[in-house]
Amino acid sequence: MSNIDSPVTPASWQFDGVVRLTRIGTSFVVFTVVIGFAAINTGNNSLYIGLSFMLGCLLLSGIASKGGLKHLVVELDGVEEAWAMRPAHGRLRIINRSPIWNVRDVIVTSADLDAPICIPLIERRGEVIVHAMFRFRRRGLVHLSRIDLYTRYPFGFFLKKRRPRLDGDVVVFPRLLDEGIARDRFRLVEGEVDTSNRIGGGTEIHSFRDFVRGDSLRRVHWKKSASLGRWIIKQTEVEVGRSIHIVVDPFRPLDVSEESFEEMISEAATFLDDALQRGLEVAFSIPHLTLRSNHDGNAAMFRALALLEATREPVAQTVDRDSVIFTVAGVEDRVSGVGA
């Protein structure tokens, strides 16, 4: 399978409609008309036979291309982790339900494909799995409903087009800022390691509790266990330098453009991505929802950010002293709360 042209601007062979003559087809039609006039003017039987053959080829080409495309069914077989403005690997399942026609040289195009795809052969009553690269321009829930199929099968006289029904949803994560100066503005500031008065991975002891099945023996406090006559587990505090709380405020005033709001979402996603890559324990909050990296997973936080919609009224949220708050306010206001 080979990729051709770019989906950013339609290729010269893409068109609106159902059928279009190719250069070969135009030449063939002109030549057929010439042979027809010659046969009528001369009455030569050989020319009539040639004319009949050429007209039969045109008819067969139209029937074969139409009969093949109309039996093709396209299904979305899944898209891996998708980020706005970045290639995402996915799969399309194309089924040929025709009992007669094999279809060759099918080109698959879509506004959401990174590049058109050429499929050499789809056998009758068969199917193929196409590995495709998608590129989505916006975050959020994207509904895939439009895809175009082109073919010049069997003789290349006509370029036929069909738009089959496609039904599939993809959650697209926010756009991440590119590496460099723009991303450096939202890198975490590393500093002294301190405790946070919360139970978690660290070195300072927070409290003690009785041993339960499944606890690691490394966490046994041997002196206290010996004095009490039973195993006692020590619980340590989370280090602030290894944890962070990110809060995203969805309030968008009337005088703030949608582009500015989306830029803020990208900044928050970039900051979150950087924190996770550094191995920090992240608590991520939006209105009515708080997710933690060690409990809910990284994908759940990016999914919540992808589906976050702007609100016209301020929404109250719980903010800690060391929280990093992302709003449509100035950049310095957002990053000044980095706890380290």
Does 158 share its domain with 47?
yes
Q: What is the pLDDT of residues 34-70, one digit of tens each?
A: 888 888 888 888 888 888 888 888 888 877 777 778 8
Of 113, 146, 172, the position where a domain reaches its end is 172
Q: With contact defined as beta carbons under 8 Å apart, do 157 and 30 qualify?
A: no
Its pTM stands at 0.69
Residue 193 shares a structural domain with residue 167:
no
Q: How confident is the model at residue 122 (pLDDT cuts 50, 70, 90)?
A: very high
222 and 105 housed in the same domain: no
| Domain final residue, candidates 172, 199, 226 | 172
- CATH classification at residue 37: 2.60.40.10
What is the mean pLDDT of the segment spanning 294-323?
87
- Total domain count, the chain: 2
Tokens of 71: 């039996």
Same domain, 168 and 202: no
147-167 average pLDDT score: 87
Q: Is 244 found in the same domain as 108?
A: no
Residues 195 and 327 in one domain: yes
Question: How large a percentage of the chain has pLDDT more than 70?
Answer: 81
Whether omega for the bond prior to residue 154 falls within 30 degrees of 0, making it cis, is yes
Q: Is the per-residue pLDDT at 333 higher than 50?
A: no
Mean predicted confidence (pLDDT) in 150-171: 88
Q: Tell me what the mean pLDDT of segment 117-146 comes to.
A: 92
173-203 exposure pattern, b = at least 16 Cβ within 10 A, e = fewer: bbbbbeeeeebeebebeeeeeebbeeebebe
| Averaged pLDDT for residues 78-86 | 92
pLDDT beyond 80 at 72: yes
Domain hosting 163: range is 2-172
73 and 51 within one domain: yes
- The answer to whether residues 44 and 130 belong to one domain is yes
Q: In what order do the strands lie in the sheet with 289-292?
A: 289-292, 281-286, 243-248, 324-326
Does pLDDT of 227 surpass 90?
no
Label residue 336 by pLDDT band (50, 70, 90): very low
For the chain, how many helices (H) and strands (E)? 7, 19
- Which of 178-182, 255-259, 324-328 is predicted least confidently? 178-182
Give residue 240's pLDDT. 46
What share of residues in the chain are helix, strand, coil (percent, to 5)? 30, 30, 40
Cite the DSSP H helix spans in the chain. 23-42, 45-69, 181-184, 222-228, 258-277, 298-306, 331-335
Domain endpoint, select from 172, 203, 220:
172
Q: Each residue of 262-287: pLDDT tens digit?
A: 999 999 999 999 888 888 889 999 99
**pLDDT, tens digit (0-9, with 9 covering 90-100), for 1-40:** 444 444 445 566 777 777 888 888 888 889 888 888 888 8
Domain identity same for 112 and 240: no
231 versus 214: the higher-pLDDT residue is: 231
Residues 96 and 210 placed together within one structural domain of the fold: no
Whether residue 11 sits in one domain with residue 158: yes
Q: Which residue has the higher pLDDT, 317 or 72?
A: 72
In terms of domains, do 339 and 259 share one? Answer: yes
